[in-house]
Amino acid sequence: MTFKCFIPRRAVIAGAIGLAASIAWGGSGFAQESIRLGLVAALSGQSAKSGEAITRGLSIAVEEINEAGGVLGRPLELIVRDDESNPGKGLLAARELVQREGVSAIFGGLDTPVSLAVVPFANQTQVPFVGVWAAGTAITRNGAEDNYVFRVSAVDALVGEALVDYMIDKYGTKKPGMILINNPWGESNEEALTHALEAKGLSSVGIEKFETSDVSVVPQLTRLKEAGAEVLFLVANVAPSAQVVQSLDSMGWDVPIVSHWGPAGGRFTELAGPNGARVHFIQTFLFRGEEDSPKAQALFAKLKEKYPEIKSVADVTPATGIANAYDAMHLTALAIANAGSTDGPAVRDGFYAIGKYDGLIKTYEKPFSPGNHDAIASKDYVFSHFVDGEIIPLDR
């Protein structure tokens, strides 16, 4: 699946999936060739809403940047590829974007396994890779001497701390169990949660793994119940998270669930049913209507104008994908401007040179350094749950 988005020309991404579009820059006011940027994300399947949100956040940011004169006097151009949540396809897409399309940076999508497949390629080719959703700790903390991977998103090591703190504050329990997807993302969170519990003098009563294709996780949940779990830590994307809720319903076990943000990435309430509201999960940003900052209100107005199906904040799900991507594009534009070129090493150093940026999620103060490639901290997380299909914030 391949398409191109040339902005500010109104080649709207929504509805263009599967279509290759090429629009001339005549009359745009730019005399120079565009700076190409790529996106590799899940644009189909159960998590397609996350890819849609990421694409919308990036595209509106590109429009804003181009309307303000572009970067280095050149327009930005977004080229998008569907990874279908498949690591092999994600790596092939990244190779095509770099080698055929000549992108100066790549934005990464939903899945940790896909991002982990792209990371070595990004470091080898010295093309910055900017994560906007996948939270696996090893994506940015990858051990490379020359690290070209940055992230404007949650990171599992910090999410583990936030989930444990929430469990203690909200439920006052010391007997959690873990139900984790059996892939590198689950492994990353097992490590993070275990360390976070140990820091509090606690441990899990049990750790269970399951597959995306499992039609029931009753056996795993039964073992956790028999072990005395009083709350469950859940790490999985949309469909498998919904399967956990359905399996709990079939058992009649009304246990609290504290989750990573996987359920926010697609049709969770449709798949999980009404008890999906029991799943409390993290986000980095939520639209809240009149409570929003002027920047958030302005972005929401642009979303409504560009995507007519958006009528209210309830129609923007998941907002965190839009926000992460929006801020990441603006920060990447600043890095290229700091670099004075699109040369990979210079752009990498340009990220380190970012001072202050008044973003959507927060005001960023020197968000990146050689020792820190993650712009968002645990204090920036907000807990939420689904109510009637809308993601609603929860009080701590």
Secondary structure (DSSP) of 267-310: SHHHHH-GGGGGEEEEES----GGGS-HHHHHHHHHHHHH-TT-
pLDDT at residue 31 tops 80: no
- Partners of residue 371 on adjacent β-strands: none
Does CATH number 3.30.420.40 belong to domain 157-283?
A: no
Q: Give the pLDDT score at 218.
A: 98
**The predicted structure's pLDDT at residue 356:** 96
CA-CA-CA-CA dihedral for 61, 62, 65, 70, to nearest 10: 160
Instruction: Using DSSP, state whether 380 is helix, strand or coil.
Output: helix
Residue 363 bridge partners (DSSP): 358
Q: Cα–Cα distance between 213 and 222 in angstroms, integer?
A: 19
26 contacts 44 by C-beta, under 8 angstroms: no
Do domains 2-154+292-380 and 157-283 share one topology? The answer is yes
One of 3.40.50.280, 2.40.30.10, 3.40.50.2300, 3.30.230.70 is the CATH number of 2-154+292-380, namely 3.40.50.2300
Of 208, 278, 206, 207, residue with least CA distance to 242: 278
Query: CA distances (Å), 315 to each of 53, 300, 312, 340, 391, in order?
Result: 11, 11, 6, 39, 10
| 265 contacts 110 by C-beta, under 8 angstroms | yes
Task: Taking residues 367-375, report their average pLDDT.
Answer: 97
Task: Tell me if the bond preceding 318 is cis, omega within 30° of 0.
Answer: yes
Instruction: State yes or no: cis peptide before 8, omega within 30 of 0.
Output: yes
Q: Please tell me the distance from the alpha carbon of residue 310 to that of residue 318, in angstroms, as a whole number.
A: 12
Q: Where are the domains of the chain?
A: 2-154+292-380, 157-283
Using CA atoms, how far apart are residues 8 and 194, in angstroms rounded to an integer?
47
Model confidence at 375, in pLDDT bands (50, 70, 90)?
Answer: very high
Confidence category of residue 221, pLDDT binned at 50, 70, 90: very high
| Lowest mean per-residue pLDDT among 10-14, 28-32, 75-79 | 10-14
User: How many alpha carbons fall within 13 Å on the CB side of residue 384?
Assistant: 25
305: its two tokens: 């104008």
Q: Is the pLDDT of residue 200 over 90?
A: yes
Segment 100-141, tens digit of pLDDT: 999 999 999 889 999 999 999 999 999 999 999 999 999 999
Tokens of 254: 């009304």
